[in-house]
Chain A
Amino acid sequence: MILNSKIPEGPLEQKWDNYKKKARLVNPANRKKLDVIVVGTGLAGSSIAASLGEMGYNVKSFCFQDSPRRAHSVAAQGGVNAAKNYKNDGDSVYRMFVDTLKGGDFRAREANVYRMAECSLNLIDQSVAQGVPFGREYGGYLNNRSFGGVQVSRTFYARGQTGQQLLLGAYQALMRQVGKGTVQLYSRHEMLDLVMIDGKARGIIVRNLDTGEIERHAAHAVVLATGGYGKIYYLSTLAMGCNGSAIWRAHKKGALMASPSWIQVHPTSLPQSGDYQSKLTLMSESLRNDGRIWVPSKADETRPPNEIPEEERDYYLERRYPAFGNLAPRDISSRAAKERIDAGFGIGPLKNAVYLDFSKAIREQGKEKIQEKYGNLFDMYLKITGYNAYNEPMMISPSAHFSMGGLWVDYELMTTIPGLFALGEANFADHGANRLGANSLLQASVDGYFIAPYTIANYLADEIHTGKISPESPEFETAENNVKQQIQGFMNIKGTKTVDYFHKTLGKLLYDYCGLARNEEGLKYAIGEIRKLKQEFYRDVRVSGQGDKMNSELEKAGRVADYFEIGELMCYDALTRNESCGAHFREEFQTPDGEALRNDAEYQFISAWAWAGENKEPELIKEPLIFEEIQPTVRSYK
């Protein structure tokens, strides 16, 4: 298979305009004849469903939470990037494009990245018009701050709850359409399979999570905006329900998965404190603007932090990366923390953390200023840990956070299945091998508000004469039966171990062998272990309750079943990339001083994977990356 990324003609700055000029339109009278399914109500899903509803299409919107407003985008704290240059500090679309491409270690498409930077300007306008209360200067103008890895202030924020406010804006736009009847809402519904007819995506099979009923929904196009799969590690900063099932089931129907092993590990989450723990809470990265990161310079230090004198502290980020210091990009900061922890300098009860210290900032700016900037985060820290971070440094540690990988999409955000689109964190686009902070809310939003409305219309223009798609066709029948069989299968095992046991075991394996650092031997070992664990799961898992009633254990079982396969693919992906780039650090490929060693000559491509069948080696298809505008350079933050 040859992948066609469909990048439009012309110079970089004109590609998106050129595309829009040529994109086909659907006559307003015809739009109501066309049905679109949108799975997911995060920023990507709400914004596309609302936009298509506004345009007059018939839209069905699905999410597994009890309300669309609870999609995981709500949890994002720090902010959203836009090249508005309101601070007059030299920002521009071009600079944002360069930063993002470089931040992603030159493993993203130029044209996509440029478009994201370009659309960032409109996003801020759109959100402000919706009533998103972004932080403001005293004069009434919008305020910005700088965010990890970037030297200009291009991040817009609403206190530490930017994702919540952006999502509420998109959710309200969605609910407005629900009120008008252009969008039908199905909350507490989980997509369990994709239905294809004549090679095109034509619908989905869902489970009503309240009643256990299996339903069929048909449409002319299907949009997956189902978020990331970082929860595969079990311990992560993600919400409990986040999963990869929707994209994975589409993958098994023929959509390629790209760069699955690139998972961002965030440097500033709260450390694990015990086995019972279900998630790791993120402390916003914005804290790194004022907090200084250090560990004791003596291994196995037992003194409390405030008793360790200045000269016995190792500000290792400032030491190793003087130009960026505490603001070094996430992959670099996380790895540097792991390096210190592994070397025996970790702190806290489990020796698995580093300090994030505000004493200098409080001395210089006053407690009040710090409270105004980060008050809610300090409160959250106190609630969770019981410690007051105004008096002593916070304890933080790296944790799985964001999946750069996802379904492969072309410039139109269409997967390799015609009529199946993937938006937001569910696709692989734009971030390359590492995501810069505050770019993900942006990507999810612009995909939904500004890009997919054009590209989906371009696709639907050909569908006007198709007529209604019937959910009674044999394809729907088969898909529904398969879903029912899988559910019955889980119920019949009646083993001895809980679903969470399997999820935790898989997560630990992935942290150890396909986490912050990987090597060939470990990855091969992990593939073997994952297969064994999967067999054990199908032999010994226990799902109590009933298959045709509300049953959250059953929901989890389906997701974990998919995680085994995704985990295996992650290891293959990491194994075949003999270089280190961004989130992917192969121990065999590093410089003498421990920095990532990229290999552009051999690995300047996107790895897209095709499903070959159960326990079979997946097939690797390469999309070469061509850089016309800027030439890859070594990513140095020294």
Chain B
Amino acid sequence: MDLHLKIWRQKDKQSEGKLVSYDLRELNPHMSFLEMLDTLNEKLITEGDEPVEFDHDCREGICGQCGMMINGIAHGPLKNTTTCQLHLRSFRDGETVLIEPFRSEAFPVKKDLKVDRSAFDRIISSGGFVSVNTGQAPDATAIAVTHQTAEEAFDSAACIGCGACVATCKNGSAALFTSAKITHMVLLPQGKEERNKRVLDMVTQMDKELFGHCSNTEACEVECPQGISVLNIARMNYEYSRALFFRQKAK
């Protein structure tokens, strides 16, 4: 099949970017989207041009590194799918495909399709953990967790940190990402002790990183490759108010 690509090319953070057109012919529909970009890059290199920079690693939907806007949709047309798990059979022969980086104030473009998502790491660093040192843990059976709770915690823990929720949100909010971690931790007995401090610190950090506020548009859940539910956001809001209340009381 043939595709016409329009790809965002931007030399570096400072430079202005623009869309550049490329034509690819006789592509195999079983190819993944990233393999299509590999094919384009092979062509560009042999023709003496610079290849398109894009982030990727595992190519199996789990590392969260690949991510781009495809025809205006984070990770492309398939629901709940990372870019690397998208295949050309999801496109029409001869289609024009627009490829851009994830856009958000908190995710500055580094080059072409690569953006800086280190803000997510700083959010985790501010409180997304259980404060347990190595070698102090009690026997694992000492902490009973019901099957349902473990599964529910897992649903939230499954976030791959890809940033599609931010990119797709009109406010550039990181609420889905942050709330997923808060929910994962607060559901489990291990994470309960630090629940107040965690939610206050993480939300503060999220604001510092220039992410926007959540206005309940729910676009994030639709694009999230892990299907993380917006109920996590509701829980984060509850936890936040609860923590404020207890902080108030402590004063």
Enumerate chain A interface residues (CB-CB to B < 8 A). 47, 50-51, 54, 65-70, 72, 74-75, 84, 86, 122, 124-131, 133-142, 158-159, 161, 164-165, 168, 171-173, 175-176, 178-179, 185, 187, 210, 239-241, 273-274, 276-279, 281-282, 380, 383-384, 386, 449-450, 453, 496-498, 500-501, 542, 544-545, 549-550, 552-553
Contact B35 A66 (CB under 8 A): no
- Residue of A130, A133, A135, A279 most packed against chain B (CB within 10 A): A133
Q: A66-B55, A279-B60, A386-B87 are in contact. List 11 more A-B contacts (CB 8 A).
A: A47-B134, A66-B65, A70-B58, A126-B132, A129-B132, A273-B30, A383-B81, A501-B42, A542-B45, A544-B49, A545-B50
Cross-interface CB contact of A136 among B127, B138, B147, cutoff 8 Å: B147
Q: Name A171's closest neighbour in chain B (CB-CB).
A: B124
Contact B46 A172 (CB under 8 A): no
- Residue of B12, B48, B114, B125 most packed against chain A (CB within 10 A): B125
Whole-angstrom CA separation of A279 from B32 in the bound complex = 10
Question: Can you name 5 A-B residue pairings with CB atoms under 8 Å?
Answer: A122-B135, A133-B145, A133-B154, A133-B184, A172-B124
Whole-angstrom CA separation of A50 from B130 in the bound complex = 13
Q: Is B170 an interface residue (CB 8 A)?
A: no
Which of B185-193, B212-220, B233-241 lies at the interface?
Answer: B185-193
Least distance between B70 CB and chain A CB atoms (Å): 15
Give the chain B neighbours of A75 by CB distance below 8 A: 58, 60, 62-63
Whole-angstrom CA separation of A134 from B150 in the bound complex = 7
Q: Is B34 an interface residue (CB 8 A)?
A: yes
Cross-interface CB contact of A175 among B116, B117, B125, B137, cutoff 8 Å: B125
Contact B110 A141 (CB under 8 A): no
| 4 nearest A-B residue pairs (beta carbon) | A140-B144, A172-B129, A129-B137, A125-B137
Give the chain B neighbours of A127 by CB distance below 8 A: 140
Contact B59 A278 (CB under 8 A): yes
Q: Name B78's closest neighbour in chain A (CB-CB).
A: A383
Q: Is B121 an interface residue (CB 8 A)?
A: yes
Whole-angstrom CA separation of A70 from B81 in the bound complex = 17
* A129-B138, A173-B129 known; A161+B48 contact, CB < 8 A: no
Give the chain A neighbours of B149 by CB distance below 8 A: 136
Q: Name B82's closest neighbour in chain A (CB-CB).
A: A383
Contact A129 B146 (CB under 8 A): no
Contact A70 B135 (CB under 8 A): no
**What's the tally of chain B residues with a CB closer than 8 Å to chain A?**
79
Contact B45 A498 (CB under 8 A): yes
Contact B38 A140 (CB under 8 A): no
Least distance between A176 CB and chain B CB atoms (Å): 5
Whole-angstrom CA separation of A550 from B140 in the bound complex = 45
Q: Name B58's closest neighbour in chain A (CB-CB).
A: A239
Interface residues of B in 149-205 (CB under 8 A from A): 149-151, 153-154, 157-158, 160-161, 184-185, 188, 190-191
Enumerate chain B interface residues (CB-CB to A < 8 A). 12, 28, 30-32, 34-35, 38-39, 42, 44-46, 48-51, 53, 55-65, 78, 81, 85, 87, 89, 110-111, 114, 116-118, 120-121, 124-141, 143-147, 149-151, 153-154, 157-158, 160-161, 184-185, 188, 190-191
Least distance between B194 CB and chain A CB atoms (Å): 11
Whole-angstrom CA separation of A54 from B158 in the bound complex = 26
Contact A240 B129 (CB under 8 A): no
Contact A159 B154 (CB under 8 A): yes
Whole-angstrom CA separation of A165 from B151 in the bound complex = 13
Q: Name A77's closest neighbour in chain B (CB-CB).
A: B62
Whole-angstrom CA separation of A257 from B57 in the bound complex = 26
Give the chain A neighbours of B31 by CB distance below 8 A: 274, 276
Least distance between A447 CB and chain B CB atoms (Å): 12
Q: Name B55's closest neighbour in chain A (CB-CB).
A: A66
Give the chain A neighbours of B39 by CB distance below 8 A: 276
Contact A133 B45 (CB under 8 A): no
Give the chain A neighbours of B132 by CB distance below 8 A: 126, 129-130, 173
Least distance between A230 CB and chain B CB atoms (Å): 14
Q: Name A67's closest neighbour in chain B (CB-CB).
A: B121
Give the chain B neighbours of A161 by CB distance below 8 A: 62, 158
Cross-interface CB contact of A276 among B38, B57, B127, B150, cutoff 8 Å: B38
Contact A140 B145 (CB under 8 A): yes
Give the chain B neighbours of A47 by CB distance below 8 A: 134
- Residue of B31, B39, B140 most packed against chain A (CB within 10 A): B140
Least distance between B182 CB and chain A CB atoms (Å): 12
Give the chain A neighbours of B147 by CB distance below 8 A: 136-138, 140
Contact A139 B124 (CB under 8 A): no
Whole-angstrom CA separation of A178 from B150 in the bound complex = 28
Whole-angstrom CA separation of A416 from B200 in the bound complex = 48
Whole-angstrom CA separation of A131 from B157 in the bound complex = 9
Least distance between A343 CB and chain B CB atoms (Å): 27
Cross-interface CB contact of A498 among B42, B126, B135, cutoff 8 Å: B42
Whole-angstrom CA separation of A276 from B36 in the bound complex = 8
Whole-angstrom CA separation of A462 from B85 in the bound complex = 50
Give the chain A neighbours of B129 by CB distance below 8 A: 130-131, 172-173, 175-176
Whole-angstrom CA separation of A281 from B65 in the bound complex = 16
Whole-angstrom CA separation of A140 from B58 in the bound complex = 33
Give the chain A neighbours of B32 by CB distance below 8 A: 278, 384
